[in-house]
Amino acid sequence: MSRLIVVSNRVPVPDKRGTAPAGGLAVALKTALEARGGLWLGWSGRSCGEDEIGPLTSVKEGNIEYALTDLTQQDVEEYYQGFANRVLWPICHYRLDLAEYGRREMAGYFRVNRFFASRLLPMLREDDLIWVHDYHLIPLAAELRRQGVRNRIGFFLHIPWPAPDVFLTMPVHEELLKGLTEYDVIGFQTVHDRENFADCLARQGLGKRLGTTRFMVGEQAFTAKPYPIGIETDEFAGIARRASETTLHRRMLQSLDGKALIIGVDRLDYSKGITQRIDAFETFLTRHPDSQRHVTLLQITPKSRSEVPEYEAMQRTVAEQAGRVNGALGTVDWVPIRYVNRSLRRPALAGLYRMAKLAMVTPLRDGMNLVAKEYVAAQNEEDPGVLLLSRFAGAAQELKEAVLVNPYDVEGTAEALARGLAMPLEERRQRWQGMMATLRENDVFAWCRAFLDDLSGNARTTAPSAAPPKTAGYRMTLDPEGTRRHRL
């Protein structure tokens, strides 16, 4: 079996006791890396001065090596905060109004991808399989090909791929599209995302479609397919069952004092629809006054990407909104919304999911949304809660038995909330069983196997040439600093 190389912006490095940070993706990839032996390369999360970039930091655990690189402050600003999170993220989440195109940031994004390629190159062996993750690293394969790499390279996009009318607003759309065609396998979360990508290729007149999943651009054939990411279903269900014995669980139950718990868990991000959700909850309370004092919305929202102005602004908006609703509707002994800006450990979260009568997972747009899946897995099969799920989350393609809502329709969501809270046990059970069967069948290990089978199985139609790839043009137009070298 070939060695596996994983490349992602962030790397879940195990702590000193050898425990990797919790999360299905980290566990599944770690399992695949253990089976094949391998390397996980990414950003250390640290920034430094231009002349201070040193050798890679390496952490070894069994036959896995975690290799981390620092980036310069300029790199972080242009590549991560700039192009990845102020252009690609809003565009892929249909927020054209928030995209801030800047040539400096675009150049920085391609430059850092070239830098990642140069860090990986000395460690590569001929038959390594390379699996690149997410929107930070779209041009990585093109950079590796340009430096003569012929290995099989796969890419998985964790976020949505937008429709052509949205994607093509981006000044470097052609470079990004062509960059993707340098991969052997491109994975999307849903059929819908893959079709949007196919429509972008067609609209640009790039290559032709050979079949449902096969495409050809120039001399090169590649696979583009949905691989909906899953969770560690049985493991998570077990954690939730055991969580009911913890002190936190008892304290929480006590503090609820018989009120029904509604839960929302999201990174503080404008794509998550948190303000619309609070509006819907407020509408529900005003239209169903008999529910007041009998329900509580627990919104757990760790802050994220605070250096990006749109995120900083959102922190204030949501805090003010929650405060306003609590002020208007709350009483001395009842707070409608408990708003918490911190992340919880998995067992605590699993226990809260199990306790909640209903989860509001209502993003405006989301690649998959694993909170939806974890909520379902955490339920008590005898008395499962209700999942209110945005039809614009990738998870809605699989979890058909959820109560699907349009998060832009605040009144509709409020009514769905009322229906969900009143849903009879038999219906809740039936819906839950359907969703749980799907989650068991397509857990994160199945997802990982499906992708790696395709990546290792498909033969490249033509060997990549040593000539510069089709993407090379962007260097001339966008990257005046393209020759800047990082010390290896």
Q: How far is the CB of 8 from ligand F6P (least distance, A)?
A: 7
**Do 214 and 461 form a contact (C-beta atoms < 8 A)?**
no
Residue 304 touches ligand F6P, criterion: CB under 6 A:
yes
- Cβ-Cβ contacts under 8 Å for 153 (sequence gap 6 or more): 130, 131, 132, 140, 141, 144, 182, 183, 184
Whole-angstrom Cα distance, residue 330 to residue 453? Answer: 54
Q: How far is the CB of 134 from ligand F6P (least distance, A)?
A: 5
The residue from 111, 152, 305, 346 that contacts ligand F6P (CB under 6 A) is: 305
Residue 158 touches ligand F6P, criterion: CB under 6 A:
yes
Nearer to ligand F6P, 268 or 376 (CB): 268
Catalytic residue among 70, 269, 279, 366: 366
Q: How far is the CB of 23 from ligand F6P (least distance, A)?
A: 9
Nearer to ligand F6P, 343 or 456 (CB): 343
Q: How far is the CB of 50 from ligand F6P (least distance, A)?
A: 23
Whole-angstrom Cα distance, residue 352 to residue 483? Answer: 52
Residue 134 touches ligand F6P, criterion: CB under 6 A:
yes
Residue 93 touches ligand F6P, criterion: CB under 6 A:
no
Residue 159 touches ligand F6P, criterion: CB under 6 A:
yes
Would you call 222 helix, strand, or coil by DSSP? strand
- Annotated active-site residue 158? The verdict is yes
Nearer to ligand F6P, 26 or 355 (CB): 26
Nearer to ligand F6P, 147 or 304 (CB): 304
Residue 26 touches ligand F6P, criterion: CB under 6 A:
no
Residue 303 touches ligand F6P, criterion: CB under 6 A:
no
Query: With 0-12 CB in 10 A as exposed, 13-18 as middle and 19+ as buried, what is 241?
Result: middle
Q: How far is the CB of 253 from ligand F6P (least distance, A)?
A: 31
**Do 351 and 243 form a contact (C-beta atoms < 8 A)?**
yes
Whole-angstrom Cα distance, residue 144 to residue 464? Answer: 11
- How many CB atoms lie under 10 A from the CB of residue 287? 13
- Cβ-Cβ contacts under 8 Å for 345 (sequence gap 6 or more): 22
Residue 36 touches ligand F6P, criterion: CB under 6 A:
no
Nearer to ligand F6P, 9 or 379 (CB): 9
Residue 326 touches ligand F6P, criterion: CB under 6 A:
no
Q: How far is the CB of 349 from ligand F6P (least distance, A)?
A: 16
> What Cα–Cα distance (Å) separates residue 288 from each residue in 294, 325, 413?
11, 15, 13
Give the phi and the psi of residue 29 in degrees, each rounded to 5: -70, -35
Whole-angstrom Cα distance, residue 176 to residue 186? Answer: 13
- Annotated active-site residue 366? The verdict is yes
Site residues, ligand F6P (CB under 6 A): 10, 134, 158-159, 304-305
| Catalytic residue IDs | 158, 366
